[in-house]
Amino acid sequence: MKSAATRNLDLSSLSKKYMMEIILFCIALALVLTAPGFFTLPNILNIFRNVTLTGVISFGMTMAIIGGEIDLSVGSSIALSAVLTATITGALDKAGIMPMETGVFVAMACALVVGLLIGLWNGFIRTRFNIPTFIITLAMLNVIYGTAALISHGFPVTTLPDWYSWIGAGRVFGLFPVPAIWLLIVFAIVYVIMNLTRFGREVYAVGGNPESARLSGINVTRVKIIILVAVQVLAAFSGIILSAQVMSGSSTFGRGYEMDVISAVIIGGTSLVGGIGKVWGTFMGIVFLGVINNGMTLFGVGDFEKYIVRGLLILFAVLFNTIQLQSLQKARLTK
């Protein structure tokens, strides 16, 4: 039988490993007891629907940050994707090439391809000139927003077919929100990639130590480009979902989303230094932010106060992750 000290050590390790789940459970339990209407199926499904836009991108951002990179331009990519989808759909219909009902498929494909090209561009600049992605994507944030505004002339574009709203606001069996299903699908894909494929292991290796990864035969350039492409493609997909929710595309979409995305990733335990993080942790971070926002809404907390809470959560998460990382490093040194 295990000694009391061993059991305490195991309990301590488990509590650290599943700290986010424990905190989330405690908060959810408090809301169940104090917030009327929280623990109902419609409200739970509403939480998942509300976190879809940032959640979809967060999984791509997890790959990027684990790989030692970051993308601050995802909010502007949402706007560009939405504007392109609506604009191209209307242009095809106006030119008589194809009606909006089918033209929107071409428009969505174009938006995703543009996202891919932006990711390739970011990756090329990063690997060719060794400029930090923080600087590259900060510059691209303004470039992409400006491009979206030029295309839309600063006004919402509403040339979209009626059925298109199903992508962002539909329900399966009249109950499950379609956006939440997109969220789960993207989560499953990224989870498999990062945990069950060679490429996922390469991302961790590159983020942990790029030089060691290169000496091990890993194509560091390829890995960095792919993860930056993944972030942009998922941002474009999120823009498509948002345009379907409101049935328009606008250059004002996505403002501030990059902070929500990075918040979810950091709260989920991914380290900004690279090489450390889990897709499941990001999923927990997404749900955590969704529950917090939903709880504040049920209690009537104002938007300004929500900013303060979100900022404090980010600070707490960074401090907690830093302490955990330092403890892990000390444990390795003492072995």
| pLDDT score of 10 | 57
**CB atoms closer than 10 angstroms to residue 71:** 31
Please write the tens of the pLDDT for every residue from 171-224.
998 889 999 999 999 999 999 999 999 999 999 999 999 999 999 999 999 999
What are the Cα distances from residue 72, in Å, to 50, 68, 188? 21, 14, 24
- Does the pLDDT at position 335 exceed 80? no
Residue 60's pLDDT band (boundaries 50, 70, 90)? very high
| pLDDT score of 72 | 97
Question: By mean pLDDT, which of 13-22, 190-199, 206-215, 291-300 is the weakest?
Answer: 13-22
**Residue 186 parent element (H or E):** helix 178-196
Residue 21's pLDDT band (boundaries 50, 70, 90)? confident
Would you say 57 and 241 are in contact if contact means Cβ atoms under 8 Å apart? Answer: no
Please write the tens of the pLDDT for every residue from 100-128.
999 999 999 999 999 999 999 999 999 99
- Does the pLDDT at position 69 exceed 70? yes
| pLDDT score of 223 | 98
| pLDDT score of 148 | 98
- Does the pLDDT at position 310 exceed 70? yes
Q: At what angle do helices 133-152 and 100-129 cross, to 10 degrees?
A: 150
Domain ranges of the chain: 55-253
- Does the pLDDT at position 16 exceed 70? no
Q: At what angle do helices 220-246 and 74-94 cross, to 10 degrees?
A: 60
Would you say 186 and 53 are in contact if contact means Cβ atoms under 8 Å apart? Answer: no
What is the share, in percent, of the chain residues with pLDDT greater than 70? 91
| pLDDT score of 49 | 94
Cα 19 to Cα 22: distance, rounded to the nearest angstrom: 5
- Which residue would you say has higher pLDDT here, 27 or 116? 116
Conformation bin of residue 176: beta by default, left when phi > 0, alpha when psi is -120 to 50: beta
Helix (H, G, I), strand (E, B) or coil at 191: helix
| pLDDT score of 20 | 79
Show the 3-state SS of 201-266. Answer: HHHHHHHHCHHHHHHCCCCHHHHHHHHHHHHHHHHHHHHHHHHHHHCCECCCCCCCHHHHHHHHHH
| Mean pLDDT, the chain, integer | 91
